[in-house]
Structure 1
Amino acid sequence: MTRHMDPRSSEQRREDGARVALQLRRMADAESSRSYQRDLLAAIVQRRTASSPPGGPPGGAAVARYRPCEVGCLEQDTGFLVAVLGEVLVRTSAAARAAKVLRPLGYAGEEVEELRGLVTRFSRPGTPVHLASRHARELRAAGVPASVNHVVPLGYVAKGEGGFEPASAPPGPRGPGTSLPQGAVRVAVVDTGRAAEERRDGWLRNAEGDVDPLYRNPGREPGELDLAAGHGQFTAGVVQQVARGAALRSYDAVDSDGIGSDVRVAAAVLRAADAGAQLVNLSLGTRTVDDVPPVGMQVALEVLAEEHPDVLLVAAAGNSGGTRPTWPAAFRSVVAVASVTASLKPSPWSDHGPWVDCSAIGEGVVSTYVPGTESRAVDKEDPDTFGPDSWALGTGTSFAAPQITGAVADRMAREPGTAPRRALLEVLRGDRRARDVPGYGTAVPVLPGTAAR
């Protein structure tokens, strides 16, 4: 594997290390994090409506993709469950049995076209999450596979206050620009989308796909970024640093609040595979009621196995520090990636367990970011401002996963004809620096990350 050296001076690493230490302190403060997450989720739930927000893209399917779904949350001992209000998902093959239970309760069912009609969504608008969860549990008890339409929220549900921090320096040489090698490995980044900004430093100039709107939330200040703005841009930048010649395409399965439903994410995965993606990166995930697999993604994976068996999915393990499964990472056919420190020791805040396949350095990763100022809802004390061609420090399994995705893409490019799963095995076994870490799988040093100071 290509060794990615750290181009920063010792002084720059110290500066960045202090910022990373702040990120880690916030993640370790469970009580403060819970209060912060509760307040932020309450604000998100209150302001979301079923109509398209101002400034949305013109007409048709684009508006449907950007329209924010109404969500609710249920606080549990292990964190927050977020789901679309009043939606229960079942396999269409069992829809008739589900209807006997749900229709008398006021639910109406329709097949989800984006999932080949194999999933039926039963809706009863306004039904709170705890009640829809109870109805789904009753269906499962009757032998009908069912789940609420879980939401896969980004960082703020699993981290404390604060988001990305400014990086002291970009991580090395100029980006690859717009040229791509013939037969470039095709990588899909299912996330918030890419920034419309055309960077002058050559990074992500050849990336395509859905655009992250960055500034859509109502009531914001001029230049104030949405709550999850730039997450997809950062993730794509990680992939490109590791696989400079990969053909990147972004899919906006998660909106600028950081909210994406099971159905929307599953549909984006199928869109990516249908468009020819060989690797799909999913820097997102959620725990579920009773740890049952979410129906939408489960069906999408079955479709992939039948229609696109060579496509490899790589997903973040989560940032809650526990061992409960995070989906979609916990599916056996998905590569689950946890985080380790810069010295390849377990990150205590990273989810882990026997369902995790491998890990990469997820603390103080440096990658491409977007122009704007952090929302005060994300960083109440000292929101940072980022300019054009900005670089940032990110901490989370969201930024460990794309390193594995990039390493697999790089191996496939160096050995044309290598299937993704074969390339993954070579990545995990072919680096003498890699080590097995119980609960974290094989820890592979890809990008250097930043040691906290």
Structure 2
Amino acid sequence: MDAVFDAQFRIIKDAFASRGIEVTVAYTPAGEVDYLYEAGRLLARRGDVGRIAEALPPGLRQLDRRGRGELSVLSLEGIEGGTMTVPEALARIEQRLGTGARPLDRRPGHAGEATRERAPIASPVHVMHISRLCPGTEPEVPPGDPGVPWPPPCEAGEEVREVTIGVCDTGWLQLDPAVYPWLGGVSGDPEPLGPPSPISGLPIIPAFRGHGTFVAGVAKCQAPTARVSVADHFSTSGAELEDVMVGKLEDLVAQSPAPDVINLSAGTYTRDNWSSIGFELFQQDHPDVVLVAAAGNDATDRPFYPAAYDWAVSVGALGPDQTHRAWFSNYGPWVDVYALGEGHVNAYATGEYTYQEPPKRPAVQNFAGMARWDGTSFAAPLVAGLIADRMARTGESAQDARAAVLASAQDLQGVGRALFPCGQA
């Protein structure tokens, strides 16, 4: 197991265990990490549960964690014999029923036409995580004493309509706009820090905390008149179960006012690269939602969902020179556009952080409310902000603004289509 993966997975596994949930790793035949999933559970559409039960030994039990919708979570714990694993159950289902996978509808001209998007009869309950098991890097103290972000905030133009960006993330640190003027209009679910450190007396910054606030800051710099609402959707150490995450997105779009653009700097790899059953159902129920999603930070062309869907805006990362792909960024025909993802400076927690990944682990760093951070996690909200800003200035619908912003992207040789912060096009 890769040392960085091991460090991050340990945090996630322990956090889920504290909720009584066992998460585990699926490996490829070559011994590489394939995806994360919940042990002893399957995910399916309600209409397929009967067929699935007939394909398995007696004892399959249907759970209902959300209490509504077409998603069903199935427990293997009562299966006759009591030892059937998720891979064994799926192998038997596919042997008896076939995969049930089928192509999804596509929009003409989308860059991801070669992507394999198929929805199976049943799948693991994948564990969604913040674009890898972490952002591209852990946060760092920015050089000097920055009082403003980089890229800098855009100048507010005339606002034709009010626009709201919904940020699905780790919550909001409730920073004071008098200290962070570019964060005016940001609100959300509180994200508490830890107790005071016995070393520094500063609050302890747990792993992944501050991610949602940093994402909101990036989006707000590109959309200065937009409202930004940061939801706590990844309270379990930057990760959440697939069905729970889809339920939280349902709650988000049901808010009043509903978000015009949703940023999701997280995702999952899936078994056999099938599409996510949960996100397929979400899009069927909300076809007009503009979802901007991070492409992931594993330097692979493997589809990362939900970014890999043709209905999502998939964002990869550019390096600081904005002419080359960032070293960590995922890539491939399913990535719609690239944007700055390395060297961002924005609002962060004030406190003491202990590094979790080698080679810095277990170094301790004090932060003073700003951080430098890398990842497709931060390329995505830059694009979400550009879309929201265009909506605010033109009055266009979210889908029309999405199309217009993507059409304005420039071709970067050897990379793909790219978008740039305001004033840098």
Give TM class, smaller chain: 0.7 to 0.9
Q: Do the aligned residues in 2 keep the contact of 1:204 with 1:240 (CA within 8 Å)? A: yes
Deviations 1:377-433 (A, max 9, x none): 34415332112xx221111111101111000001111101x12222123223336xx
The residue correspondences of 1:435-446 to structure 2 (distance < 5 A) are 435-437=411-413, 441-446=416-421
| Secondary structure of 2:183 counterpart | coil
Structure 1 residue 109 and structure 2 residue 62: aligned? yes
Q: Structure 1 residue 383 and structure 2 residue 371: aligned?
A: no
Give 1:401's match in structure 2, choosing from 380, 404, 413. 380
Question: Deviation of residue 69 (structure 1)?
Answer: 4.1
- Residue ranges of structure 2 left out of the alignment (5+ in a row): 101-120
Match of residue 263 from structure 1: 243
Q: Which residue among 191, 204, 212 is the counterpart of 2:169? A: 191
Amino acid at match of 1:280: I
Matched, 1:300 2:282: yes
Paired position in structure 1 for 2:5: 37
Secondary structure, aligned partner of 2:52: helix
Q: Aligned partners of 2:229, 2:49: CA distance in 1, in Å?
A: 34
In structure 2, distance between residues paired with 1:448 and 1:213: 35
Separation in 2 of the partners of 1:374 and 1:75?
A: 31
- Name the % identity: 27
Report the CA distance between 1:119 and its aligned residue. Answer: 0.8
Residue 112 of structure 1, CA deviation: 4.9
Amino acid at match of 1:402: P
Contact map agreement 1:74 1:129 (CA 8 A) in 2: no
User: Structure 1: how far apart are the matches of 2:423 and 2:235?
Assistant: 29
Match runs of 1:301-450 below 5 Å: 301-305=283-287, 309=288, 311-341=289-319, 342-378=321-357, 379-387=360-368, 390-416=369-395, 418-430=396-408, 434-437=410-413, 441-446=416-421
Cα distance change, pair 371–84 in 1 and its aligned pair in 2 (3 A): farther
- The verdict on how the C-alpha distance between 1:223 and 1:229 changes in structure 2, with shifts beyond 3 A counting, is same
Contact 2:171 2:230 in 1 (8 A): yes
Q: Give distance in 1, aligned partners of 2:141 and 2:252.
A: 31
2:81 counterpart of 1:99: no
Matches within 5 A, 1:240-255: 240-255=220-235
Map of 1:103-252 to 2, 5 A cutoff?
Answer: 104=58, 106-113=59-66, 116-124=68-76, 131-141=85-95, 142-143=97-98, 144=100, 145-154=121-130, 157=133, 163-167=138-142, 168=144, 169=146, 170-171=148-149, 183-199=161-177, 200-215=179-194, 223-252=203-232
Q: 1:288 aligns with which of 261, 265, 270?
A: 270
**Which residue is equivalent to 1:16?**
none
Residue segments in structure 1 that go unaligned for 5+ positions in a row: 1-30, 52-67
1:48 to partner: Cα distance = 3.8
1:118 positional shift = 0.3
| Structure 2 CA distance for aligned equivalents of residues 129 and 246 of structure 1 | 52
Instruction: Give the partner amino acid of 1:289.
Output: R
Match of 2:115 in 1: none
**One-letter identity of the residue aligned with 1:122:** L
- Deviation of the 1:315 alpha carbon: 0.3
Name the CA shift for 1:130/1:83 in 2 (closer, same or farther; >3 Å). Answer: farther
Alignment of 1:49-68 (within 5 A): 49-51=17-19
> In 2, Cα distance between the equivalents of 1:137 and 1:283?
31
Per-residue CA deviations over 1:58-112 (Å, capped at 9, x if unaligned) read: xxxxxxxxxx7432223445535222232210011111112224562x4410345
Cα distance in 1, alignment partners of residues 151 and 264 from structure 2: 26
| Counterpart amino acid of residue 42 in structure 1 | R
Take 1:407 and 1:278, find their aligned partners in 2: how far apart are those partners?
A: 12
> Residues 344, 173 of structure 1: CA spacing in aligned structure 2 closer, same or farther, 3 A cutoff?
closer
Secondary structure (helix, strand or coil) at the match of 1:89 reads: strand
Counterpart-to-counterpart distance in 1, 2:83 and 2:375: 27
Higher share of residues assigned helix: 1
Contact 2:76/2:85 (<8 A) preserved: no
Q: Which of 397-406 and 207-216 deviates more?
A: 207-216
Give the 3-state SS of the residue equivalent to 1:232 in structure 2: helix
Deviation at 1:372, TM superposition (A): 1.8
SS in 2 for 1:87: strand
CA–CA distance in structure 2, aligned partners of residues 139 and 96 of structure 1 = 12
Deviation at 1:182, TM superposition (A): 8.0
8 Å Cα contact 1:175-1:202 kept in structure 2 = no
How far 1:159 sits from its partner (Å)? 6.3
Structure 1 residue 273: Cα displacement: 1.6
| TM-fit CA distance, 1:174 | 9.9
Mark the CA change 1:326 to 1:155 in structure 2 (over 3 Å): closer, same or farther. closer
What does residue 12 of structure 1 align with? none
TM-score (normalizing by structure 1): 0.76
Distance in 2 separating the partners of 1:448 and 1:430: 13
Aligned-residue CA RMSD (Å): 3.3
Q: Aligned-pair distance for 1:269? A: 1.9
Residue 173 (structure 1) shift: 11
